[in-house]
Amino acid sequence: MIDPDLIEQLIKVLDESDIDSLEIERGGTRIRLGKTPLQPLAAPTAAISQQVQEAPLEAPTPVSEVPGSSENESSGLIEITSPMVGTFYSGPTPGAPPFTEVGAKVSPGDELCIIEAMKLMNELEAEVAGTVVEICAENAQPVEFGQVLFIVDPA
């Protein structure tokens, strides 16, 4: 927990400085302070927002249940979609090998990728066992909520 007095001091420093935003993390709590105008041409003020580090992950959707997926309708393949808007990373760091590849066997709990959203790294884990048939996103490229990232054959 971050001390409220510290927050007040940070707001004062932010208001009196030329910097636009400040982020601090202590004891697992992350606070971001940023100047935002109340109205056009109004004096800057500091706004406080606490970011939630966990995002709910959606269960994979069978391809046969996805509208417009007729080419795989009877195949029984499973689409794993993005649970949020962000940037898709296939590996833990730039230049590192990807978490998974086409043809790799995955089990529930295996890490598939990282999606960066608001400077938070969110690990996407497999919720089904099977073989990765296709990786539908490019490394370091933006992804949308619900966008298909992986197609897995549960057989």
pLDDT above 80 (res 116): yes
Question: Which class is domain 61-153?
Answer: mainly beta
Burial of 1 (0-12, 13-18, 19+ CB in 10 A): exposed
d(CA 53, CA 59): 19
Average pLDDT over residues 2-27: 72
10 in helix, strand or coil?
Answer: helix
pLDDT digits (tens, 9 = 90+) for 54-81: 444 555 555 444 433 334 445 789 999 9
d(CA 55, CA 69): 27
d(CA 135, CA 149): 6
What integer pLDDT is reported at residue 82 of this predicted model?
A: 94
Average pLDDT over residues 34-58: 45
43-80 exposure pattern, b = at least 16 Cβ within 10 A, e = fewer: eeebeeeeeeeeeebeebebbeeeeebeebeeeebbbb
84 in helix, strand or coil?
Answer: coil
What integer pLDDT is reported at residue 17 of this predicted model?
A: 74
